[in-house]
Amino acid sequence: MAEIEMPQLGETVTEGTITRWFKNVGDTIAQDEVLFEVSTDKVDTEVPSPATGTIAEIKVPEGETVEVGTVLAVVSDGAAPATPPAATEQAPAPEQAPTPEPVVAQAPPEPAPAPEPVVAQAPPQPAPAEPVAAEPAANGEVAGRRVLSPVVRRLITEYAIDASQITGTGLGGRISRDDVQRHIEANKLVSQDPGSDGGTPPPPPPAPQPSAPPVPSPAASASVPVPASQVQPGIRDAVVPLSNIRQRTGEHMVMSKAVAPHTLTAIEVDYEAVEQIRTRHGADFKQQEGFSLTYLPFISRATIDALREYPHLNASVGDRELVVHNYVNLGIAVDLDFQGLLAPVVRDADGKRLRSIARDTADVARRARSKQLSPDELSGGTFTLTNAGSYGTMMQFPIINQPQVAILSTDGIKRKPVVIEDDYGNESIAIHSVGVLAMAWDHRAIDGAYAAAFLARVKEIIETRDWESELA
């Protein structure tokens, strides 16, 4: 027998949520074959089985969160006929219900007509039920034992609506004002207020039946984002439970804003030198590497070099201290198809040239989207880049990835007219690729002058470096 425990999925990970089992009790499993998927505060990852055998027991069901070291399942060494026999032996026991058969024999004495009178009493029951629902609507406090707000009570009374015909989409199934308005519009009801000329609506009562189906109980309970194209007509709200990664991201960002005094500094950069290299070598680079040569590795390389000169930005905040790192582990924010955001780390990036940085960045981004990262690859970063530029953003104010002290946003790069100067000091206007770099930084670690000087150095490197030799 082998016990499968919740593994330590990263230095700071203390618990995990089982999101999926790939095997059931009785299934065989090979060593290193994927057994379950676990979600932590850092990443969702698939975990292989450390043993070969048969799944004898699953102790932790899907959706349950447990601490590291908790026994999740038991794998037996041999085949698992042991489990089926036990089930087969117990099967006869329930089949020994012949003893209750005498009780069935007592069934004949029970007069069949007896239920018939009960059925005869059923018709009267619906009749009182309707007045009961109508009375609450009239008295304005409760409809069908459901508490109503004053505005809902007024509308139900004014339009002579049977509240039992409305499906509430509010908390606990409460009827909201929007629910009533949709019911009124769907059934073309007329106000019964004494001051209006609206006639009594006997025809509308039958109409409520068609209005019930459109009410969005399925959409309202959707567990995944509902595309606009799939939202049913007449549905105004869809309830989308927050995924584990959304909840953890929110907690982390709220914490970051609470502990770090965020400040933003931005600078405009002329990327024309980079653009010329991308134009000349982009096609060959993609053929050689299998992915496009974007602006990101150029910005990454310039940032890494500038951090050597401004090390207090390559640091972490401790207990009344600043821990300055003598290496650069570059975090790269990766979007997971709008379902979440991860920041995998390119380790020891300060020892890598442009092409190597581009390869590592593409690799961690690909594995982040395919859930192939280990939690350790999401920790240990010393500085982070977030790239929204592909959407043409002008400038964004990112939130610092704690315990780091800064995060740099690479925003949209566009062709713009700029003033250039030749070797003789003559100025002219040219069309260049221009964009903004915006950095959020922790005012506990540095001041504005230090942040501005760092960004000016990043700008200088991007605009003046010999990128041709870097790409070689």
Q: Is 350 marked active-site?
A: no
Higher local confidence (pLDDT), 120 or 402: 402
pLDDT band at 149 (very low <50, low <70, confident <90, very high): low
* Bridge partners of residue 130, in order along the sequence: none
Nearest-10 Cα torsion for 136, 138, 141, 146? 40
The average confidence (pLDDT) of the chain is: 78
| Model confidence pLDDT, tens digit, residues 370-401 | 878 887 888 899 999 999 888 889 999 999 99
Q: Which CATH number fits domain 2-90: 2.70.70.10, 2.40.50.100, 3.50.50.60, 3.30.1510.10?
A: 2.40.50.100
107, two tokens: 């069934």
Distance CA 327, CA 13 (A): 23
Residue 124: predicted pLDDT? 44
* Bridge partners of residue 345, in order along the sequence: 331
Higher local confidence (pLDDT), 357 or 88: 357
Please state the domain extents for the chain. Answer: 2-90, 126-230, 246-471
CATH numeric code, 246-471: 3.30.559.10
Q: In whole angstroms, how far apart are CA 327 and each of 62, 264, 302, 441?
A: 40, 24, 15, 19
Mean pLDDT of 265-287: 96
Task: Out of 32, 178, 284, 447, pick the active-site residue.
Answer: 447
Residue 246: predicted pLDDT? 82
Q: Is 281 marked active-site?
A: no
Residue 201: predicted pLDDT? 41
Residue 164: predicted pLDDT? 83
Mean pLDDT of 121-131: 41
* Helical packing angle, 296-309 and 354-369, nearest 10°: 110
Distance CA 97, CA 319 (A): 70
Task: Out of 27, 32, 443, 466, pick the active-site residue.
Answer: 443
